[in-house]
Amino acid sequence: MTPILPLFLFLVQVTFDLSHGAQLPGHDGKPRPLATNGQPFPWDRMRLPETVSPVHYDLFLHPNLTSLDFSGTVRIRLEVHQDTSIIVLHSKDLEVSSALLLAPEGARPLQMLEYPAHHQLALLSDTPLTTGRRYELQLQFAANLSDSFHGFYKSSYRTSSGEVRMVASTQFEATSARAGFPCFDEPAFKANFTIQVIREGRHMALSNMPKLKTVVLPGGLYEDQFDTTVKMSTYLVAFIVSDFLSVSKYTQHGVKISVYAVAEKIDQTEFALNAAVKLLDFYDDYFDIPYPLPKQDLAAIPDFQSGAMENWGLTTYREAGLLFDPNKSSASDKLGITMMIAHELAHQWFGNLVTMQWWNDLWLNEGFAKFMEFVSVNITNPELQVNDFFLGKCFEAMEVDSLTSSHPVSTPVESPTQIQEMFDDVSYDKGACILNMLRDFMTPEVFKVGIVRYLKRYSYQNTVNSHLWDSLTNNGDELDVRAIMDSWTLQEGFPLVTVEVKGREVRLSQERYLKTDDPSLTQGFLWQIPLTYVTSSSSTVQRFLLKTKTAVVYLEEEAAWVKFNVDMSGYYMVHYSGSPGWSSLTQLLQHNHTALSSNDRASLINNVFQLVSVGKVSLDVALDLSLYLSQETQIMPVTQGLSELVPLYKLMEKRDMLPLENQMKGYIVELFRGLIDRQEWSDEGSMSERVLRSYLLLFACVRNHPPCVATATQLFSRWRESDGNMSLPSDVSMAVFAIGARTPEGWDFLFEKYRQSMHTSVKSRIKTALSISPLQDKLHWMMEQSLHGEAMKTQDLPHVVISISRNPRGYKLAWDFLQAHWLQLVNKFDLGSHSIAGMVTGVTNQYSTREMFDEVQGFFGSLSQETGAELRCIQQTYQSIQDNIRWMDTHLPLLQAWLRRHTTLTPDPSADPGTDPRAAQASPQRHEDL
């Protein structure tokens, strides 16, 4: 990983004079870039010069949903900061037909040079633009609506009668506003936008601001004119042309909330509408800053790559992220939709009102929005029990942060691909987890005062890390927030704290937790760690800031056990060395596990198995601790137990070790059998009980637990006999569909219901069930159909490929598909995107043989830089496979011996159809870890 560079290197202002002959900076002997016409291009850097900046955009757009193209004119009011005769801005895949400079002395044409490699357009003036004066650019442009999911792109949906209708929508984050109109497409170039959109009478247009008026034009066209936006970054601009319908309500603060969707799904919008009203009111009060726009629209887009997007005043979502039917949607759907809306509305303050200076600090947007999801929903919707799910985000972040390919939360990026790669678990989940750690250490009240101060101080501005830390520091406060948090944001990875208890004395040491066979890579790291602990003698949480490599603390009295990192509120792991070490905590779990909170129990499960991977703990110790899980009932420790145990047999599946594989599967089913058998096939219970039920019954059916298979088979038969009209409990329907998809007849029936359904939640569950079927011809067909986008949406292809890769009958198909269609995939989903990264790691990271490592390395090693050779996810997957190989070489004999001592059940291999639910539904809980 490239070490962090000082931020000033990325913010340094360009100080050379461009007014005489377009001189390049540096004169370092590098060849000058050439424009498309063969002339030298006057700028050789990825970042734009700061000689001019935009103040206001007047944007006129005319999308044509018949010819699937658009044309437009943009007038950009400029402020000149340094005399120059060259203006460099962004333009991507646009045909710019003319460029004029509008000045008091009149309009004059500008020479245009294009440099597509950097998405840049240089405009050359024959007379210099003068510092302090304002000018206006006018550019005319045209392009096709994009076939991808970014820029100004085309989307479509099919009505129940089979008619295909078109939609034009935008997705500009991170670097695609330049594909919608020529602009200064960097977050620090904030400006106001006045937008006008021409449309046909059968359509309506939406943008960030309310519509002021509609003008009737010749030829049956209409021009919608929107109010001017507040000052904001280009990536937040949005416009949609569609035939959507809407429902609306007002918040207590007078903001109009509207939810837009296709006509036949408008009856699924009420839940999102009510959730958005409640959440926007919460944020308005919590941040003590009024939401600055008169409206907030939420639009369900039929084709959408990510989950949602925070465009200011016009947030956009996947249909599955917004639409809810109380009779069809599951508990996981309700939780997921609420959290997604909470995330995007949090962005209206964190990200929109206050924006990171550059993408290296993306976490200031995404980490905060992810963190605020949990804060807001915990208060507005306590019945959703979101605190039962937060810890899973920290475990996910640690999974990638434990590899040598990880990166600091704040890390240098320049190219669009590097920027795209920042939208990962480190920016989102690690960002949220370190904020939660800081909040816990400072206290929620003090933390809230600091973040409100930050938002008020930097409204409509751009910030860097230090602005946040300074806002969280009170004058005279002994706590040096910046020093603490720099250690968490400016270096990659996380610490492992080793604890050795001798009487009242507790010896502490820290090192980097890293999955590697090179110990030198853990050297040179030091964190300021907010430690917390409780003991058998006192449930009062004790706190200690560990600033050094080693330290000693003293307990008030000797204790039978000590648990560090209370509720795992800290982003670090703990190893209990020496005597009694782990044995005291294992005994506690076996005899009185509720003495610890469910999060503490989950953290012990996670930590002990992860310590096996780095040789700190014997596998026997971890497996002995797991035995207590037969008594466990809470969602976080149960799902974490499965997340640690299931990958063990997933590694075996790809090594053809069927007897041992089935022995491991048998042990896991037996471990949770009591809890599984107590599950009811209903939608009753609390949120956590319902999500856990869905998770367990799916696992049990896929693992052929006889009572589960019998019930699911009976329910599927009755549902099929009713032609899909019988009402199934939503929370258990995934398990029912998974059993039904095992036969060709059942698979075909499910697919027909998938094709007919207007309920995205039902389609999502059916899609997952189809992908975990043992029918290989169907799995291959499913991936091909998702790629073509007719029978199944291409937006769902990454999920389908990953889910099939978790299927023991499908993983080879998924790997072959990824290789065969690589170029199509990176063109559709964008190089560096989370979708591409998810497919790369999802398809390959459970391989554990040198032969497969060589095959994976052979394919990715053959790529060029332009087709992904330098993607971080490729390094991650290399390291994951190597870690799997080491794990199997080291621990397989121990695992075999331990299972012989602790299991008597070996399932009949012929009874296992080979399905596996590792990628089972996008919900806050990690079904893909089954």
From residue 437, give the alpha-carbon distance in Å to each of 432, 449, 511, 858. 9, 16, 19, 41
Residue corresponding to tokens 């993306």:
362
- CA dist., res. 437 & res. 648, Å (int): 31
In degrees and rounded to multiples of 5, residue 848 shows phi and psi of: -145, 25
Q: CA-based angle 908:909:911, to the nearest 5?
A: 70
CB atoms within 10 A of CB 79: 15
- CA dist., res. 185 & res. 480, Å (int): 35
Q: Is the peptide bond before 182 cis (omega within 30 degrees of 0)?
A: no
From residue 217, give the alpha-carbon distance in Å to each of 212, 224, 228, 241. 16, 10, 22, 17
| DSSP H helices in 427-564 | 431-442, 444-457, 465-471, 481-489
- CA dist., res. 729 & res. 762, Å (int): 11
- CA dist., res. 699 & res. 713, Å (int): 15
- Both tokens of residue 611? 């310590």
Amino acid at 425: D
User: How many Cα atoms occupy the beta-carbon half-sphere of 802 within 13 Å?
Assistant: 22
Q: CA-based angle 266:272:276, to the nearest 5?
A: 135
Closest by CA position to 81, among listed 25, 136, 23, 13 = 13
Rg (CA), the chain: 28
CB atoms within 10 A of CB 819: 15
- Both tokens of residue 404? 């040598």
Q: Strands of 204-207's sheet, edge to edge?
A: 151-158, 164-171, 239-242, 204-207
In degrees and rounded to multiples of 5, residue 59 shows phi and psi of: -115, 120
CA 569 to chain CA centroid, nearest Å: 21
Strands 573-576 and 542-546 come out as unpaired
Closest by CA position to 533, among listed 495, 572, 494 = 572
CB atoms within 10 A of CB 911: 11
Question: What is the DSSP secondary structure assignment for residue 131, as one 8-state letter?
Answer: T
- CA dist., res. 792 & res. 813, Å (int): 18
Q: Which of 319, 344, 492, 632 is catalytic?
A: 344
Which helix (H) or strand (E) segment is 155 a member of?
A: strand 151-158
User: By the 8 A CB rule, do 710 and 735 touch?
Assistant: no
- CA dist., res. 57 & res. 722, Å (int): 57
Q: Is the peptide bond before 174 cis (omega within 30 degrees of 0)?
A: yes
User: By the 8 A CB rule, do 309 and 315 touch?
Assistant: yes
- CA dist., res. 190 & res. 170, Å (int): 19
Q: Which residues, 6 or more positions from 820, have their beta carbon under 8 angstroms from its beta carbon?
A: none
- Both tokens of residue 615? 């040789």
In degrees and rounded to multiples of 5, residue 570 shows phi and psi of: -100, 145
In three-state secondary structure terms, 734 is helix
- CA dist., res. 403 & res. 489, Å (int): 16
Q: Strands of 505-512's sheet, edge to edge?
A: 550-554, 505-512, 495-502, 573-576
Does the annotation count 344 as an active-site position? yes
CA 410 to chain CA centroid, nearest Å: 17
Question: What is the DSSP secondary structure assignment for residue 234, as one 8-state letter?
Answer: G
Q: Which residues, 6 or more positions from 725, have their beta carbon under 8 angstroms from its beta carbon?
A: none
As annotated, the active-site residues are: 344
